[in-house]
Structure 1
Amino acid sequence: MKILLLGSGGREHALALKLKASTTPVDLVSAPGSDALAELGTCVALDLEAPAAVAAWCATARPDLVVAGPEVPLVAGVADAVRALGIPVFGHDAATARLEGSKAVAKAFMERHRIPCAASQTVKDLAAGEALIRAWPHGYPIVLKADGLAAGKGVVLAESGEEALATFRAFMAGQFGEASKTVVFEEPLIGMELSLHVLVDVDADHAAFAMLPACQDHKRIFEGDRGPNTGGMGAFGPIPFLRPEDIQRMRVELVEPTVRGLQADGLPARGVLFLGVMWTAAGPKLLEYNVRFGDPETQVLMQLLDEDLAALLLEVAEGRLVSRELKLKPHTAITVVLAAEDYPEGAKKGVPIQIGTPSVTVIHAGTRKQDGQWLTNGGRVMNLATSAPDLAAARAAIEAALPQIHWLGMQVRHDIGLKALRHAQAGKTVRDSW
């Protein structure tokens, strides 16, 4: 099967490794790819924000399947353009991708289909927003979200009215261009945050979905959840204290209404939805939709999935998914991010990486190869990933492997999954204080 994989980061390298391990033989092409992805196939220089360019390549090369990694090409309409050629795409049309591309569209969808979420108001006017902040009824922090894509930086939790006003004015002045000219204000939700991925296959006549295990990401740069937010410093899954009834509650209250809503609104969906969930004292509430696999959650999910990934993604792309339980390893998986010096404010690039022989999966996220030497080439440079019978064993395996990779200034958290492990060991559930 000839597969075109769109993207270049750790998520795509994890997907590529799993695709190449499929029972189905895979001829992998990555765009734009990376030096690590080039070792698993070939790379082509395509502009992922140019649907016509991607479609033109596909019209000539005729891949059997296109798999979209990041959200940007989906929001741009790449899936629409390629699908028009009769080529299956694992990735949503532009109209459906607006669930991630516009926070306001997503909130309206949640409210229309009665999906539990934070109370919110959408503002496009400076005076209206300033008045809303001064009369804010929901307590602090005030959550301000730039409506459009802002590379993961368009969400601020303002701890005071002054901070909220400063943030709002910066947004409206174009801090993130057009993406922040509309702002969604939300009440703060308190609880345990988790990531829920669902394969979805929806059109006017068919609606199927399959849930993947819930994961938990760690956003802060430093141990103990301190320091600035990042794209994610590590993740694990499944969450050991989530009970079957908790999973069922998310299925009934969040997933099924989403799938029904997609069909009711005429939004075709052939790909994955990544639901950001906050489990509050009142139960699970939806924070946001993402229309692609999470990073670093993908690195965890690919360790757990016990299916032929190429065949599974094609099943979704061709509209043949049947709602079912996916085959999973009876394990817990974990990934730990190795980050560059100065991340997340910047990233020191070109630093030589020493790689030994770790007994876990090595995933390249931001590297390049020069004269046979791997160098840092991004903020999140590499991931180590593995699975084991339980979370404690998975954490121990990563710790044992960490000395095998090193470069000057490397940042890593040693507490990925530790808080959840202690929560589970204390006999606590998702309903207990987190």
Structure 2
Amino acid sequence: MSEGKNVLVIGSGGREFAIAKALKQSEHVNHVYCAPGNVGMPTVGVEPVAIAENDFATLIKFAKEHQVTWTFVGPETALVDGIVDEFHQAGLKIFGPDARAAQLEGSKDYALNFMQQAKVPTAKHTTYDQLNAARDGLDQYGFPVVIKANGLEGGKGVVIAPDQASAAVTLTQMFQTGQTRVVLEECLQGPEYSLFVLIENGQYRILPMAQDHKRAYDQDKGPNTGGMGAYSPLPQLADADYQRMIDEVVKPTVKGLVDGGYHYHGILYIGLMLTAAGPKVIEYNVRLGDPETQVILPRLKTDLFELVDACLNDEELPQVEVHEQAVLGVVLAAKGYPTNPVHGQNLGTFPAKPGITIDYANVTGDLTKLTGAGGRLLMVISEANDLKIAQANVYTYLNQLNVPECEYRHDIGDKALK
């Protein structure tokens, strides 16, 4: 592997910030471009490029003109829309599954059928394409019941309905807002975990585990969001339970991909619930998660460039080595997120502090005077010898900020510490 490669990252959020930052730290990498990126990226030596993530033709032209060795896709929409297929047709290397494999995230129904075929444990479920049939189907499920929009919803298309009335309202809203199919699922009970697997056809490596916090408010209250914070490692996860996740979920999933002729080269995220009956899959995503990426990549001792490069060249994958230290991050979101986030609030600056890093996401302006652009604005992250210290570092920093039109959860990491 010669030195000084150029790589391109697709996307603009905190996840892409973390990916680009990790790649920039590799001794093999000269230049990291991120399209479209965000205004915070130059703080870690990454160059934002003003090309939309769905403008495949312009991205391909840029990759060719700038001698990009390979491209790393962050967001699911580009994958589902076939960016990988288009890059391959142009003779370019790109990290991520093709459009067929991306249906594992693009359609809940498709993913559930795959799990059934591959004998991967999941919840009891039924898919409906008619509102009345879905309402009648509620009789087959107890309450609470999980209702999922079939298509991409940015992590926000899942509703846990506590009773018949709220379930009927949710179903009506989903069909009225353009969903052609919805899925009813039994509501599983147990702690939720995020497992990320880097897959090269039948070969795989598991990245550090994390726990995401999906609900908007403390104690897992409020609506589902794209994620309000995460941490890694998971001291509360027993070795035996982790091994069951590998044996009962990861291995049959990877085998199912090979048997199905998917030729998968990319990341597969497996959202797991550890139930009394063992691990069960809640969902697949075909890419790294946001905000988990921001806490798992800093724990990688293994060079991210080397892992991806080996995967794309069908070589033996390096073993994944992990730092012992804990990493915890809390998302600073616009007030009103996810339903009606404030835009344009003055954020000022985020002063450097030992033990704290900022992964920027939905911000505009410049680094001397940042403005919020709605949704999840950035993530405050700490690496420390243990989770308790990392948690204290992050909240001490956040509590000193003057950001009146923003909000964040105050309990990220508590599930591991209490």
| Matched residue, 1:162 | 165
| Matched residue, 2:29 | 25
| Matched residue, 1:402 | 398
| 1:316 equivalent among 302, 311, 318 | 311
Distance in 2 between residues matched to 1:414 and 1:321, nearest whole Å: 42
Deviation at 1:371, TM superposition (A): 8.3
**Aligned residues: percent identity?**
38
The SS at the match of 1:55 is helix
The SS at the match of 1:6 is strand
Distance in 2 between residues matched to 1:82 and 1:371, nearest whole Å: 33
Distance in 2 between residues matched to 1:66 and 1:373, nearest whole Å: 31
| Matched residue, 1:196 | 195
The SS at the match of 1:45 is coil
Distance in 2 between residues matched to 1:68 and 1:344, nearest whole Å: 24
Deviation at 1:361, TM superposition (A): 1.0
> After superposition, what is the alpha-carbon deviation per residue over 1:88-109, rounded to whole angstroms, capped at 9, x for unaligned?
2111111111000000000000
Partner letter of residue 198 of structure 1? V
Partner letter of residue 206 of structure 2? M
Structure 1 contact 199–209 (Cα < 8 Å) conserved: yes
RMSD over aligned CA atoms reads 1.8
Deviation at 1:49, TM superposition (A): 2.6
The SS at the match of 1:295 is coil
**Is 1:340 the equivalent of 2:343?**
no
Distance in 2 between residues matched to 1:42 and 1:213, nearest whole Å: 27
**Is 1:130 the equivalent of 2:135?**
yes
Distance in 2 between residues matched to 1:404 and 1:12, nearest whole Å: 27
Partner letter of residue 40 of structure 2? A
Structure 2 contact 327–383 (Cα < 8 Å) conserved: yes
| 1:352 equivalent among 342, 346, 349 | 346
The SS at the match of 1:26 is strand
Partner letter of residue 147 of structure 1? N
Distance in 1 between residues matched to 2:367 and 2:76, nearest whole Å: 33
| 1:415 equivalent among 404, 411, 414 | 411
**Is 1:292 the equivalent of 2:287?**
yes
| Matched residue, 1:388 | 384
Deviation at 1:407, TM superposition (A): 1.9
Partner letter of residue 33 of structure 1? G
The SS at the match of 2:75 is coil
| 2:74 equivalent among 69, 93, 117 | 69
Partner letter of residue 386 of structure 1? S
| 1:145 equivalent among 137, 142, 148 | 148
Structure 2 contact 344–374 (Cα < 8 Å) conserved: no
Deviation at 1:50, TM superposition (A): 4.0
Structure 1 contact 62–87 (Cα < 8 Å) conserved: no
Structure 1 contact 365–378 (Cα < 8 Å) conserved: no
| Matched residue, 1:35 | 39
Deviation at 1:249, TM superposition (A): 0.8
| Matched residue, 2:6 | 2
Gaps of 5+ in 1: 423-434
Partner letter of residue 18 of structure 2? A
Structure 2 contact 333–407 (Cα < 8 Å) conserved: yes
Q: What does 1:213-228 align with in structure 2 at a 5 Å threshold?
A: 213-228=208-223
**Is 1:366 the equivalent of 2:362?**
yes
Structure 2 contact 40–367 (Cα < 8 Å) conserved: no
**Is 1:97 the equivalent of 2:102?**
yes
Distance in 2 between residues matched to 1:285 and 1:155, nearest whole Å: 17
The SS at the match of 1:149 is coil
Q: Which sits farther off after the overlay, 341-350 or 85-94? A: 341-350
The SS at the match of 1:329 is coil
Structure 1 contact 26–310 (Cα < 8 Å) conserved: no
Q: Which sits farther off after the overlay, 97-106 or 228-237? A: 228-237
Structure 1 contact 91–317 (Cα < 8 Å) conserved: no
Deviation at 1:370, TM superposition (A): 4.1
Distance in 1 between residues matched to 2:352 and 2:400, nearest whole Å: 6
Distance in 1 between residues matched to 2:367 and 2:272, nearest whole Å: 44
Distance in 2 between residues matched to 1:65 and 1:252, nearest whole Å: 32
Distance in 2 between residues matched to 1:98 and 1:53, nearest whole Å: 24
Structure 1 contact 358–402 (Cα < 8 Å) conserved: no
The SS at the match of 2:84 is helix
The SS at the match of 1:337 is strand
Distance in 2 between residues matched to 1:211 and 1:372, nearest whole Å: 39
Structure 2 contact 332–407 (Cα < 8 Å) conserved: yes
| Matched residue, 1:426 | none
Partner letter of residue 415 of structure 2? K
Structure 2 contact 158–224 (Cα < 8 Å) conserved: no
Deviation at 1:23, TM superposition (A): 1.9
Q: TM-score, normalised by structure 2?
A: 0.93
- Number of aligned residue pairs: 411
Deviation at 1:248, TM superposition (A): 1.2
| Matched residue, 1:330 | 324
Distance in 2 between residues matched to 1:265 and 1:104, nearest whole Å: 16
- Cα distance change on mapping 1:23 and 1:165 into 2, 3 Å: same
Deviation at 1:410, TM superposition (A): 2.6
Gaps of 5+ in 2: none
Structure 2 contact 21–46 (Cα < 8 Å) conserved: no
Structure 1 contact 50–78 (Cα < 8 Å) conserved: no
Distance in 1 between residues matched to 2:395 and 2:48, nearest whole Å: 33
Distance in 2 between residues matched to 1:221 and 1:281, nearest whole Å: 26
Q: Which sits farther off after the overlay, 281-290 or 29-38? A: 29-38
> After superposition, what is the alpha-carbon deviation per residue over 1:309-355, rounded to whole angstroms, capped at 9, x for unaligned?
22222222222243x64111012211111122222223223222232
- Cα distance change on mapping 1:381 and 1:321 into 2, 3 Å: farther
Distance in 1 between residues matched to 2:270 and 2:180, nearest whole Å: 25
Q: What does 1:176-325 align with in structure 2 at a 5 Å threshold?
A: 177=178, 180-202=179-201, 207-322=202-317, 325=319
Distance in 2 between residues matched to 1:56 and 1:369, nearest whole Å: 28
| Matched residue, 1:431 | none
- Cα distance change on mapping 1:406 and 1:320 into 2, 3 Å: farther
